[in-house]
Structure 1
Amino acid sequence: MVLAALWFCCLLTTNYTLRPLRDAMAVAGGVEDLHWLFTVTFLVMLAAVPVYGFAVARCGRARLVPLVHRFFSLNLLVFFALMQGFIGGGSEAVQLWTARVFFVWTSVFNLFVISLFWSVMADLFSGSDARRLFGLISVGGSIGAIAGPTIGGALSLWLSPSLLPLVGAALLELSLAAMRRLPPRDPRTPNNEAEGAPVGGSPFAAIPELLRSPTLLGICAYVLLLTMSSTVLYFIQAQIVALSFTDDATRTAVFAGIDLSVNLLSLLAQTLLTGRLIRRIGLGWSLAVLPLLCALGFVGLALAPVLAVLVGFQILRRAGNYALSRPAREVLYTSVDRSQRYRAKSLIDTVVYRGGDALTGWAFAGCKALGLGLGGIALLAAPLAGLWAGVGALIGRRADASERATD
């Protein structure tokens, strides 16, 4: 558990160390082109999933994780060389395209390495152990989410932001060291597979696997509704903060305060409550709590679309996701086979997730064009959250029943 938490901590520290550089690169690449960057990110996800599926089919876990990590580490070294001017001579055009590519790359990197991490966790832990320990493993991620911005901000101010890719590559190597020391799965647990055995099959098997599995279809619906609700709230947040504050410094401080509050609350809940709650109330309620909270939050925003309601809602929503919904969702993958854990899970965590972002962004713009205000859009999102809660309760109860039958 400690080694898994250390691995997760390194991954989240890497992500949050690179995020300030990514956001700066987004500005450098042209704010007016951000919608194209999001579109390109989604298309890159579509192209990357079968490539990743090919690697899953040919490599066992002991080879797959180093392959993925080393690929991204090599990318970071190339970005470092480009930012330093070692490649391309530091010309303005090279720097502009480096900024755009780095933004897309970071969005792809984050989702893939986190998805792979939780695939391995579902490989190593049985369903009962996952219910007990995934919350504590998530503590490592919360620590990384706090450490990452500190490292990124300090290096950017004291040295140079272009050094951050080197730090990210070093953290990925440290995460590999933790992964290699993980013990093999207990051979007495069900669904055990040979440690070094590749998954096999077709690189394009993710979609058929998803369509054949009621569990995976349920998770897919849950993730789609989650990201749709989150994106609606993100756009409402942007509107309210823009109306509440006129200067960038104050807006940045508000976002930083939300991030800090979310990470501290998540860390506290993961340490003291997550494992106990999942075992006591079951996966059904664990997956339904966040959507029900969001339904209430959207009703609150519909009645009072003001900054105080927004900040309180956003903190509770994100902390609830990190502390309860995400660990409970990852437990579901312990009941599917290895091929589905790696291939179909990656498809859900990347393409479905980013697809939900894109779909909701266009829907929000359409609602605004029709003349709906923030309160009206929030009210429309409330039943969406209610549907999300129903999906979570259904797939969670099915998983609990399956676990009891196995026991």
Structure 2
Amino acid sequence: MSAAWRNDSNSPCRSSQTLEPAAWGDAAECAGSTSGATNSNESRSRMDDPFNRPPHGRASASVPRRAVTCRASSANTRQAARSSRLRNRRTVRLSATSKRSGGAIFSPDCRETPPCRRGQRMITALERVLGLRRGERTRALLLFAYLFLVIATSVAGKATRDALFLQQHDAARLPYADAAVALGVVALVALYVRARRAMNLLALQIGSLLLFSTGALALWWVGQGGAAPAWHPAVVYLWVGVFGALGPVQVWTLANYVLTLREAKRLFGLVGGGAILGWVVGGLMTTATAGRYGADNVLLALAAALAACAALVFVIWRRRPAAFGDEEPEASGRALSPASLCESLALVARSPYLRALALVIACSSLVTGIAAWQFKAIAKAYIPATDELASFFGWFNVCAGLLALATQCLATSRVLRRFGVGVALFIVPVSLVLGSVGLLAWGTLAAAVVLKGSDHVLRYSIDKSTVETLFLPVPAEQTFHAKLVIDGIVWRAGDVAGSAILLVAVAGLGVSAVGVGWINLVLLGGWMAIAWGDYR
């Protein structure tokens, strides 16, 4: 455009690039005053063309220069007004966002999504991937955290107790300790069933967790100040074994009381991931604490974790669905539930379904207990130092936990969907057969790690999800007693049977830790035969 037109002070279109909203009408009048020289369609196309190109088939000279410039100026004016409105809207939105985010200031020209909105989108995407629905996220994550802390505490405690016990006693005495743990679990379950009649589940779980936390703190205090009493390693072994049997049962029992059946089917996989992650973190905690501060000081961390679990139970119970009400869903039927351990055992014995499940669990406990003893005995022979042995157990739990977590995320749901529960029950015994054959062939620490690692990875991923799925058809109040009997007493009965077999084979017949693998192969054959009968 010419310099004369740009400097024409009489034209309202002279400074169209900096027009204020009050001057928009003048620019429109300027465009309308020259529209008669051209066709209206051409005028409209000219005003929308930012490069002021002539229409096809006609020369640009046919349109007056003043009309072209004024139309272009009007189009630029509308574009500037549109940009200004968008900037104003963005400024208002970002100002409101800054108030919600605690005063953070965002530039109006910033095209990035505010952090709070990005976080919400990430949470929504995570819920979609995990299959969570509205109102389920908080309960699922709290149960995940509860099981995570319980398993991390149990793993760290087992690594500590094994190191402390093997420091003063030979590996041949481990079966006696396991038998004592089994008897302690039976006694505690009997008290637990009677206490269930007198108080609700919330008070029972919080009270037991605080009791275990106090016990860990007392055992840590006794072990300080030099040489610990001779009974200290045995009591630590018993305390950790009893809690390791009861703690996970409490988590899954609480899950049956705060999740509906449909929610449980969707969320049990996520909740079970807390157990696998707990194995990893528990191993890391043991390695870091035992290597730097000594194995005794792990007990102090366990006391703090159990106190946190008690707080989590209270929060989870408060977030139960409104359909359950303020009381337990089966509170009215609690008076008709078993009042003693004998009645709980009779409940399992009368049900063919629970009997078959208990028999499979007993075989699993018997075989895996013998494999665990082989692993500990061979590890003690290769690593005699206490702190180094505790660190080794910790690193083993870390690596096995990571593999179990990968298996849980990538394989568990696919195996259950494709092959079903019946086939999934055979995965652990088949892997133990292969591991036992490898240990008999090589007899090294690496072969023992493979044997125990295959049990650890598969039993706490695919096998655990399979077993918990088998409890879903059982009513909630019966599930409480059935899980106490099967996961507590029946599992420990398998440990006692395994301890008796080890005492006869090792102490009586002088069979080596590697040679026990032949006994395990026979027991594995019986386990698979029972599983095959249940499958058919």
Amino acid at match of 1:38: D
* Contact 2:439/2:447, CA 8 A, preserved across alignment: yes
Candidates 305, 309, 315, aligned match of 1:172: 309
* Contact 1:236/1:374, CA 8 A, preserved across alignment: yes
In structure 1, distance between residues paired with 2:167 and 2:375: 23
Offset of residue 150 of structure 1? 3.2
In structure 1, distance between residues paired with 2:269 and 2:529: 23
Matched, 1:378 2:517: yes
**Based on CA coordinates, which of the two structures has the bigger radius of gyration?**
2
Pairing 1:308-387 to 2, within 5 Å after superposition: 308-368=446-506, 369-370=508-509, 377-387=516-526
Normalised to the residue count of structure 1, the TM-score between the two structures is 0.80
Stretches of structure 2 lacking an aligned partner (at least 5 in a row): 1-139
Relative to 1, partners in 2 of residues 1:53 and 1:237: Cα closer, same or farther, differing over 3 Å? same
Offset of residue 272 of structure 1? 2.6
Deviations 1:207-266 (A, max 9, x none): 111211112212221121112111222233345445656766775565444322210011
In structure 2, distance between residues paired with 1:372 and 1:30: 19
Larger CA deviation: 235-244 vs 341-350: 235-244
Stretches of structure 1 lacking an aligned partner (at least 5 in a row): 85-89, 188-192, 399-407
Candidates 166, 172, 183, aligned match of 2:320: 183
In structure 2, distance between residues paired with 1:198 and 1:74: 33
Offset of residue 206 of structure 1? 1.4
Offset of residue 322 of structure 1? 0.5
Amino acid at match of 2:470: L
Offset of residue 9 of structure 1? 0.9
Candidates 203, 225, 235, aligned match of 2:363: 225
In structure 1, distance between residues paired with 2:222 and 2:333: 35
Relative to 1, partners in 2 of residues 1:295 and 1:149: Cα closer, same or farther, differing over 3 Å? closer
In structure 2, distance between residues paired with 1:259 and 1:22: 14
Pairing 1:33-44 to 2, within 5 Å after superposition: 36-44=176-184
In structure 2, distance between residues paired with 1:255 and 1:71: 27
Matched, 1:266 2:401: no
In structure 2, distance between residues paired with 1:116 and 1:185: 22
Amino acid at match of 1:348: I
In structure 2, distance between residues paired with 1:310 and 1:341: 36
Larger CA deviation: 27-36 vs 379-388: 27-36
* Contact 1:132/1:275, CA 8 A, preserved across alignment: no
* Contact 2:280/2:401, CA 8 A, preserved across alignment: yes
Aligned to 2:255: 121
Pairing 1:212-291 to 2, within 5 Å after superposition: 212-241=350-379, 254-291=392-429
Candidates 43, 46, 71, aligned match of 2:211: 71
- Comparing both structures, which one devotes a greater share of its residues to helix? 1
Matched, 1:208 2:346: yes
> What is the DSSP-based 3-state SS (H/G/I as helix, E as strand, rest coil) of the residue aligned with 2:320?
coil
Larger CA deviation: 316-325 vs 366-375: 366-375
* Contact 1:17/1:168, CA 8 A, preserved across alignment: no
In structure 2, distance between residues paired with 1:100 and 1:387: 33
In structure 1, distance between residues paired with 2:439 and 2:529: 22
Aligned to 1:59: 199
Amino acid at match of 2:408: Q
Matched, 1:151 2:285: yes
Larger CA deviation: 311-320 vs 150-159: 150-159
In structure 2, distance between residues paired with 1:255 and 1:11: 18
Deviations 1:177-219 (A, max 9, x none): 55335433967xxxxx716557333123211112111122122
Deviations 1:75-121 (A, max 9, x none): 3444455456xxxxx7978x444543333122111211211212233
Relative to 1, partners in 2 of residues 1:377 and 1:10: Cα closer, same or farther, differing over 3 Å? closer
Number of paired residues?
A: 387
In structure 2, distance between residues paired with 1:18 and 1:373: 27
* Contact 1:231/1:357, CA 8 A, preserved across alignment: yes
* Contact 1:79/1:102, CA 8 A, preserved across alignment: yes
In structure 2, distance between residues paired with 1:329 and 1:268: 19
Candidates 316, 329, 334, aligned match of 1:199: 334
Deviations 1:273-318 (A, max 9, x none): 3233223321111222111222233334344434443322322221
